[in-house]
Chains A and B, each alone.
Chain A
Amino acid sequence: MNETLTCALVEERALVERYVADTLTDAHGRADFEAHVIACPRCQDEIRLAMAVRADLAPLAAGTRRARRVLPLGLGIALAASIAAIILSRAAGTSTRWQDLGAVPVAPIYLGVEVRGTPVRGDSLLALAMKAYDDRRYDAASAGLTGALAAGTDSAPAEFFLGAALLMLDRPEAAAETFGRVIALGDTPYLGEARFYRAKALLRQGNGAAALSELHAVASSSSAVSGWARALADSVESRMRR
């Protein structure tokens, strides 16, 4: 603590990366980092750039990354062999065929929503639920969002983040159903992402064809995630051809 940082040390210790990823704790010297940043225009710019990069990469930090995490080079041969055996034994099944493409290691980021003119009780419940969501307490978020919906909060954001929470809880069936309700609401700001994450949920259930249909619907739209939907659709199609 109380170390005077330089930009070089910030870079060497990946402090901007940790800061935007919310993994920079006091133990990692968050206070020293903030003391440096408030007086350093260069690092301020780096944070803004990092936030822009993160915002675009977070929804896509899926698929192959999780698969790679399962097989780091440091694993012993015996462990690697046993994992390979499990993978091979399941390869013929439909559910595991798409698991890696359906992975969502980072939850959709909550960007805040406008409350309607006259807030209802559900809006305060939504606020509490989204605090839990931001804290990655997806069980609490899921329960809170269900309560907020029952109390009359705006359904599009609440349903969307309920779907996201269910996805993070590894409940793809419930997530797909919830995202389906968001899609059924029509042209909301959540439509594109709801299709994208419903596709993820469907992939986790082993339903590549239905996922592809959702991805094509997003890919042809002007959604912020259409580029990523096209990339994921390519991966799904490529796997279907194998």
Chain B
Amino acid sequence: MTLKVVAVETTSATTVEALERLRPGLQLMAVRSLGTADAAEEAVQETLARAVAALARDQLADPAKLPAFVAGIARHVIVDMQRARYRSVSLESLPVAAHPSYHPDALKALVLAEERARVRAALVSLSESDRDLLGLCYVEGLAPTEIAERTGEPAERIRKRKSRAMDRLREAFHGAGEPRHAEARLPTREARATGGVRP
């Protein structure tokens, strides 16, 4: 489903196109927060619909701020959905169709099985100290300067080690022949199911 049906009468084609370009990023943001592709899709649709309505009312003064404007709407939508999800409701009081269910994880929704396998293989080929360094970065969320404070190693050296290690992982992640950053499309539903390549 695209925005065209909703927006055709009130929003210019250029605006719709600009909003559609934000869709992959919104999807990523929503999956990270909501954990499932289906819930994320719902959040993205709701966000874009609200954005179209707001733009039709001229609520955005500076067009350059469109991503920030849409990201703000997305945050509200996601928080609303999280509140609804965790509201304490007895299951017995709900019809079976309305029972909460779980879906495969956010990681699976965002990263293909084969991309993960390639990254895993590349990780194993790194030295233990580089893996430890990446753990401090991506598990503990530390910046090189913070790691330097903790370990005593110069921040610049940490930055270089991390950069070299990440270059190897990035190469593995994208696989042979795929251009870097050329497509940020998320795995399709079919690809998620099969672990296959993106179209």
Residue numbers of A with Cβ under 8 A of B are: 2, 13-14, 17-24, 31-32, 34-42, 44-45, 47-58, 60-61, 64-65, 68-69, 72-74, 105-106, 109, 111-115, 118-121, 123-124, 127-128, 131, 227
Q: Which of A32, A55, A68, A115 contacts B99 (CB 8 A)?
A: A115
B107 near A119 (CB under 8 angstroms)?
Answer: no
Say if the beta carbon of B196 comes within 8 Å of chain A. Answer: no
- Give Cα A9 to B72, complex, Å: 20
Say if the beta carbon of B55 comes within 8 Å of chain A. Answer: no
A34 near B71 (CB under 8 angstroms)?
Answer: yes
A121 near B92 (CB under 8 angstroms)?
Answer: yes
- Give Cα A17 to B120, complex, Å: 18
Contacts of B72 in A (CB 8 A): 31, 35
Contacts of A40 in B (CB 8 A): 25
A55 near B116 (CB under 8 angstroms)?
Answer: yes
Contacts of B180 in A (CB 8 A): 45
- Give Cα A12 to B30, complex, Å: 25
Say if the beta carbon of B137 comes within 8 Å of chain A. Answer: yes
Residue with the greatest number of chain A CB neighbours at <10 A, chosen from B137, B141, B144 = B141
Knowing A17-B143, A24-B141 are in contact, say whether A41-B116 is a contact too (CB < 8 A): no
B68 near A35 (CB under 8 angstroms)?
Answer: yes
A44 near B173 (CB under 8 angstroms)?
Answer: no
B36 near A112 (CB under 8 angstroms)?
Answer: yes
A128 near B102 (CB under 8 angstroms)?
Answer: no
10 A-B contacts (beta carbon < 8 Å): A31-B68, A31-B72, A48-B115, A49-B166, A53-B138, A56-B119, A60-B131, A60-B135, A115-B101, A123-B99
Contacts of B89 in A (CB 8 A): 124
Mask, B130-142, CB within 8 Å of A = 1, is: 0110111111111
A115 near B137 (CB under 8 angstroms)?
Answer: no
Contacts of A109 in B (CB 8 A): 105
Knowing A52-B116, A61-B135, A121-B91 are in contact, say whether A112-B105 is a contact too (CB < 8 A): yes
- Give Cα A37 to B184, complex, Å: 11
- Give Cα A223 to B25, complex, Å: 32
Say if the beta carbon of B103 comes within 8 Å of chain A. Answer: yes
The 8 A-B residue pairs whose C-beta atoms are closest, nearest first, are: A21-B141, A38-B25, A41-B184, A73-B152, A111-B105, A14-B143, A35-B68, A23-B141
Knowing A49-B169, A111-B104, A115-B101 are in contact, say whether A44-B28 is a contact too (CB < 8 A): yes
A68 near B26 (CB under 8 angstroms)?
Answer: no
Mask, B156-196, CB within 8 Å of A = 1, is: 00000000001001100100000011011010000000000
A52 near B173 (CB under 8 angstroms)?
Answer: yes
Closest B residue to A44 by beta carbon equals B184
Q: Which of A38, A42, A58, A124 contacts B91 (CB 8 A)?
A: A124
Q: In the complex, which residues 99-153 of chain B have their Cβ closer than 8 Å to any Cβ of chain A? A: 99-108, 110-111, 115-116, 119-120, 123-124, 131-132, 134-144, 146, 149-152
Knowing A17-B143, A21-B141, A61-B140 are in contact, say whether A53-B134 is a contact too (CB < 8 A): yes
B152 near A51 (CB under 8 angstroms)?
Answer: no
Q: Which of B28, B103, B141 contacts A48 (CB 8 A)?
A: B28
Contacts of A36 in B (CB 8 A): 67
**Besides A45-B181, A48-B28, 6 other CB < 8 A contacts?**
A14-B141, A52-B116, A60-B131, A69-B150, A73-B151, A112-B102
Closest B residue to A119 by beta carbon equals B99
- Give Cα A60 to B136, complex, Å: 11
Contacts of A21 in B (CB 8 A): 138-141
- Give Cα A74 to B173, complex, Å: 37
Contacts of A124 in B (CB 8 A): 89-91, 100
Closest B residue to A106 by beta carbon equals B139
- Give Cα A8 to B23, complex, Å: 23
A119 near B100 (CB under 8 angstroms)?
Answer: yes
Mask, B63-104, CB within 8 Å of A = 1, is: 000111011101100000000001011111000100111111
